[in-house]
Amino acid sequence: MLPSLDHCRCLINCFGISVFSSFFWVNREPQSLPVKDIKTCKPIPSTTMSHPKIKRRVGKYEVGRTIGEGTFAKVKFARNSETGEPVALKILDKEKVLKHKMAEQIKREIATMKLVKHPNVVQLYEVMGSRTKIFIVLEFVTGGELFDKIVNHGRMREDEARRYFQQLINAVDYCHSRGVYHRDLKPENLLLDTYGNLKVSDFGLSALSQQVRDDGLLHTTCGTPNYVAPEVLNDRGYDGATADMWSCGVILFVLLAGYLPFDDSNLMNLYKKISAAEFTCPPWLSFGAMKLITRILDPNPMTRITVPEILEDEWFKKDYRPPVFEEKEDTNLDDVEAVFKDSEEHHVTEKKEEQPVAMNAFELISMSKGLNLGNLFDVEQGFKRETRFTSKRPANEIIHKIEEAAKPLGFDVQKKNYKLRLENMKAGRKGNLNVATEIFQVAPSLHMVEVRKAKGDTLEFHKFYKNLSTCLDDVVWKTEEDMQAMK
């Protein structure tokens, strides 16, 4: 349950900030904050909660914990040391990029994305390179995934789904007009900002999961194909714009229905359903919504509805307000070319320092949604690709309890300091589910435990976390209000 208003005020006061001072927060040094105990609001001696040493520094960015990872890249939370602004730092393995002959394509798409500034697209700020890595600095989005809303609350009302779909089409239309295609649109790539607006991530960076063969066409290696267009599955090459349209149609169906239009435990049967566009709209959909979905989920890419046609659709146009924003001008693209050069003068400096266990107030607030710290410490917060809880137990005991709970669930456990890597020994819908767990000290005798999906299916992660949290009931810290609510 959510903390009371007084508890929220106490949490905010503990970190020495107010709603009105939040606009100036990013320019403050975390060390200057009067850090206090989260529950009692009494000051904590500086020796117990001092500003931790940085894990790593890349250029002007202080690099923190991992917040996502894939085959080619890891995404880490980072902070601009000059402005205090939180960012997401995508780290690519340069050797893998060169090995798969994707350098020119990635270079071209990153250069294009630097020119993109749209309110519904996660912004790419800059790109840097070292001898072995490529660093892409992205806007840090704090509102979670759109997928979370479906998992937690089921299908949406038509007006709510339409608003998100309008924002999705705005983003797709803008990027397509600049020759940038996503090719991997799915719920995990649809994020929400603090105000509930849609932000599409990884636009233009999808070449990391694509391969260009000798025919010059894109060919894909996809995990779960539920959102993928028939022509992509056929592996005969495809047009990025029409493939994106199909994925948008599947997403709209999921928002309105609460389930996938194409789903089957047998992969070959699933392929057949997608190729034939074999689906049925639920009876609660309006005629306008059904008509639009049917036109988008057309298995023939030549007759599939286009973005300009969607913009003229009557269902789509209801309450539609085109976004108003300023175009980016005079963007410097020198850094894009420099990341692939071997010359040391073009390389960014990487510094590694001692691994911290403590976590400062700045990182805590950056990890929460806006300034709603209840999202960070709420025991029953909504599930997503990462979730967290607090505990007053010693770190070693927490680790032992997690290990004890994970093994009967069929997970292999690997330990390293205050981190655990859990891998399901049985393959799921998207391969073996991998879960990363890390423990942070946020105050004396108080730890925050982060549980994050590193690899595999999001729904399988939700199921795993529910089972895990049941086993860890005696470890999770509950406030007096939580105890009262459970009676």
Ordered DSSP codes for 209-267: GEEE-TTSSEEE--S-GGGS-HHHHTTS---HHHHHHHHHHHHHHHHHHSS-SS--SSH
Q: Give the model's pLDDT for residue 386.
A: 62
Q: State the pLDDT confidence band at 139, using cuts at 50, 70 and 90.
A: very high
Q: State the pLDDT confidence band at 325, using cuts at 50, 70 and 90.
A: confident
Taking residues 165-181, report their average pLDDT. Answer: 89
Taking residues 307-328, report their average pLDDT. Answer: 89
Residue 65: count other Cβ atoms within 10 Å of its Cβ: 19
Of 103-112, 130-139, 149-158, 417-426, least confident by mean pLDDT is 103-112
Taking residues 480-486, report their average pLDDT. Answer: 52
Q: State the pLDDT confidence band at 425, using cuts at 50, 70 and 90.
A: confident
CA atoms within 13 A on the CB side of 101: 6
For 167, phi then psi, to 5°, come to -65, -35
Q: State the pLDDT confidence band at 382, using cuts at 50, 70 and 90.
A: very low
Query: In DSSP terms, which residues pair with 345 in a beta bridge?
Result: none
Of 171-180, 297-306, 373-382, least confident by mean pLDDT is 373-382
Residue 269: count other Cβ atoms within 10 Å of its Cβ: 13
Answer yes or no: is pLDDT of 447 > 60. Answer: yes
Q: Which carries the bigger pLDDT value, residue 153 or residue 275?
A: 275
Residue 299: count other Cβ atoms within 10 Å of its Cβ: 15
Q: Give the model's pLDDT for residue 239.
A: 82
Q: Give the model's pLDDT for residue 21.
A: 27
Instruction: Kindly report the average pLDDT of the chain as a whole number.
Output: 75
Of 69-73, 129-133, 333-337, least confident by mean pLDDT is 333-337
Q: Give the model's pLDDT for residue 245.
A: 94
Q: State the pLDDT confidence band at 71, using cuts at 50, 70 and 90.
A: low
Helices (H) and strands (E) in the chain, counts: 17, 16
Burial, 121: exposed, middle or buried (Cβ in 10 Å; 0-12, 13-18, 19+)?
buried
Handedness of CA 473, 367, 413, 358 (dihedral sign): negative
Answer yes or no: is pLDDT of 69 > 50. Answer: yes
Q: State the pLDDT confidence band at 278, using cuts at 50, 70 and 90.
A: very high
Q: State the pLDDT confidence band at 351, using cuts at 50, 70 and 90.
A: low
Answer yes or no: is pLDDT of 285 > 50. Answer: yes
Q: State the pLDDT confidence band at 107, using cuts at 50, 70 and 90.
A: confident
Taking residues 408-420, report their average pLDDT. Answer: 86
Indicate the annotated binding residues for ATP: 90
Q: Which carries the bigger pLDDT value, residue 160 or residue 468?
A: 160
Tokens for 195?
């105000």
Q: Which of 143, 317, 162, 385 is nearest to 255 (CA)?
A: 162
State percent of the chain over pLDDT 90.
24
Angle subtended at Cα 185 by Cα 179 and Cα 189, rounded to the nearest 5 degrees: 110
Could you give the CA distance from residue 344 to residue 52 in angstroms, rounded to a whole number?
A: 30
Top-tier CATH class for 146-317: mainly alpha
Answer yes or no: is pLDDT of 289 > 60. Answer: yes
- 5: Cβ–Cβ under 8 A, 6 or more apart, which residues? none
Could you give the CA distance from residue 455 to residue 436 in angstroms, rounded to a whole number?
A: 9
The tens digit of pLDDT for each residue in 355-368 reads 434 555 445 545 54
Q: Give the model's pLDDT for residue 349.
A: 64
Using DSSP, state whether 19 is helix, strand or coil: coil
**Range with the largest mean pLDDT of 136-140, 173-177, 369-373:** 136-140
- Provide the whole-model pTM: 0.66
Taking residues 171-191, report their average pLDDT. Answer: 84
Burial, 32: exposed, middle or buried (Cβ in 10 Å; 0-12, 13-18, 19+)?
exposed
Answer yes or no: is pLDDT of 6 > 50. Answer: no
Q: Which carries the bigger pLDDT value, residue 374 or residue 122?
A: 122
Indicate the annotated binding residues: 90
Q: Kindly list the catalytic residues.
A: 184
Taking residues 241-267, report their average pLDDT. Answer: 92
Answer yes or no: is pLDDT of 161 > 60. Answer: yes
Domain ranges of the chain: 146-317
Q: Give the model's pLDDT for residue 52.
A: 44
